[in-house]
Structure 1
Amino acid sequence: MNAISPAIQQASSDEIDLAALFHSLWEQKRLVVLVTLLVGLVAAAYAFLATPEYQVQSVLRPAGLKDLDALNRTGVYELKPEQAMRRVGAALESYDSRLEFFRANQGLFEALRQPNRSLEQTFESFNREAFKMLQPDPKKTDNLSAYVGIQLTYPADVNGVALVNGLVEHAIQAERGRIAADLQTVIQNRLNQLDLKMAAARANYEASKEARVAKLLEADSLKRAQLQDELKALRQQLKARRDNRIAQLDEAIRIAKALGIGKPTTPSALGEGERVAQGSVIRTEVNNQQVPLYFMGSEALEAERNALLQRRSDDFTEPRIAQIAKELQLLTHNRQVEVLKQRENEDLFLKDLATWREEATRLRSLQFDVADLKLVTIDQVAVEPLRPIRPKKALILALGLVLGGVLGLFIALLRNILRRKPDLLP
């Protein structure tokens, strides 16, 4: 019983203190209300006096295939709709592109000018805080289509709609200019490549023609030398054959004179001697052995020897010599070499030259105006916002009243504690 009594007394004391606390706060209700109203007035002053900030945005989506078909059909530059959109988005995000637009349109940023900052410093601060790129979340797979956009948060004295739309148009125009420059560069590079191909083909043709002419002339020289060697050998052979024949005739003449054979005769006639023939006699001799040369008689042999000694050339006795002379005469002029050297328009004989010339002509006549090229579809144009995004007046007023009430209660509790402190001292 003694242990329970202090606990009951302590609980009663706590209840009395809590009741006294509520009573004390109620007595200071005017203070709480006054603090709440003061903080609410401060919040209201901020809500209605702070410079309002607005927000606009522009969203771009890929262009249609038909919009880029003319560019892709040139055959020298290929650009898909998604690639074109990404390139425009990169231009929107580029600091250099934004700074270029800022320098070209300083009137749109006149309200942001500060006396102690340069143009670049003013733009740097505004660019870092005001712009935000809009892109689909790569982690989400339920995105219906790709897009890219830019969002701008700006104070009331800045024309944000004109700024965003102007920046989007500037990025599109800048990208068109880059595509035009790229297209001209690609065309010029291909033309240079075609010129190099044609020059290389001409050089290769000249080298091939010279090599072919040299080969033909070398073959003719070799053939001519072989024919001349053959002709010389044949003439030596014929001369040796004539000398051998003369030697044989000399020997046969000596034998015929020794035998007294002056006219042509036969071995059987030589053996019978002279006979007186009665009537007509027909003599037939069959002999399978070659009759010696001296049976021709010394007169015939001497006549043949004299003819051989007087001969100046043996060429007519060998048909091959006439044929060699004909071939040597044909080798004096190589008509194929003459035709190769007399070609006037050698480009006609270059392989693939017609195709290269056709491609070069097509590239030089290629005229593509990028001014009408539609790179993206502007899905959302920046329009004048209906209300500012900051300050949120209702939220600020509600927070001000709540914070004012809390602050008033805190002050009342603090006063109550300070007032009871002397009573608690012994």
Structure 2
Amino acid sequence: MFSQMMSSLRPSPIQVMAERTRQAVATGHSVVDMTLGEPDFPTPPHVAQAAVRAISQGLTRYTPINGSLPLREAIVRKFGRDNDIDCTVADINVACGGKQVIYQAFLATLNPGDEVLIPAPYWASYADIVGMNGGVLKPLATRPEDGYALQPAQLDAAITAKTRWLVLNSPSNPSGTAYTPEQLLGFVEVIRRCRHQGFLILVDDIYEHILFDGRRFATLAALAPDLRDRILTVNGVSKAYAMTGWRVGYACGPRPLIEAMTKIQMQVNSHTSSISQAAAAAALDGPQDEVHRRCRIFQDRRDLLLQRFGAIEGLHTPKPEGAFYLFPDIRAFIGRRTPSGALISDDMAFADHLLAQGVSVVPGSGFGMPGFMRLSYATSDNQLHLAADRIAAAVEQLG
């Protein structure tokens, strides 16, 4: 009845844990939900007002497949202003979130057996999107002691004639790793001298504006203009502007690739909502003060949890440079038992134990790193303190 692809498609580990959390809450349990990567702030008022104006002005009809002209013009300005990337509206694709942009890029370019290099831990959806389009995920394992940062020598050793894409996500979901210009230039040197030159680079910058400790954001296309005909720079408004439900993602890249992605989108969903596009243009062109203010709040929350987690013996938590996640190493707890005698056999069992104690996280195995866990700190300080209290108590219970 179903295609062969369906047999390999797994439910999102993030959504699985989010649903289990909803079920626990529905049955009366108190749970601090740290599963979803969604800012807890409202969409900025001027963005919402732009959507209302669009409705009142009758901007409720079809737009061009690859995005309305006003939105693509705003994206061109954004890339020039924020990233030093010179592009035109013909180089832009707009879709229903960054996930659709990535899906269309892989559908347009992958053939069975093509390899996609992705540093692990990686956003869970990358793996399934690669598989759904016939590709083969080739994870590049990183280490917590390196801040989960890919090393140039690893990249050099991994590239083969089968390599079709390299994916770089910075700041990263789930680790919060943010590459410096110097680190990215290390990758550039590997790419330039590599004897296999037929692959593309997908740069996922969705957490661009959530960067901590005064760090300067860097993106590959700005650092290596000579490689721009191979780089697809993906972004969106969901994280920085708290617009997850509006579903607007976009990309700038080589025009033949953008045209192929647009051709695919024509037969999938035509375009994202015209109202959402008007709101996204207002977000990109409007004041950015609230984005910066919220970034400072995320940094304070990170520091709060790092301080609290530092007092939990056996919980090793590298300091993220951006995004709003922690990715602690929980391997010290594998093999121990709960008070009821249940074995903590893996990170899923550890997540189950935490959920029973009132904290919901996502097992690291869903991100290509068994023995770890991801938690989102996009919630209030009170909830973060409560989560830390419960995690500390849950760990103390283990024998």
TM over 0.5, shorter chain: no
RCO (CA 8 Å, sep 6+): is it higher in 1 or 2?
Answer: 1
TM range (shorter): under 0.3
TM-score (norm 2): 0.16
Larger % of strand: which? 2
The structure carrying a bigger helix percent of its residues is: 1
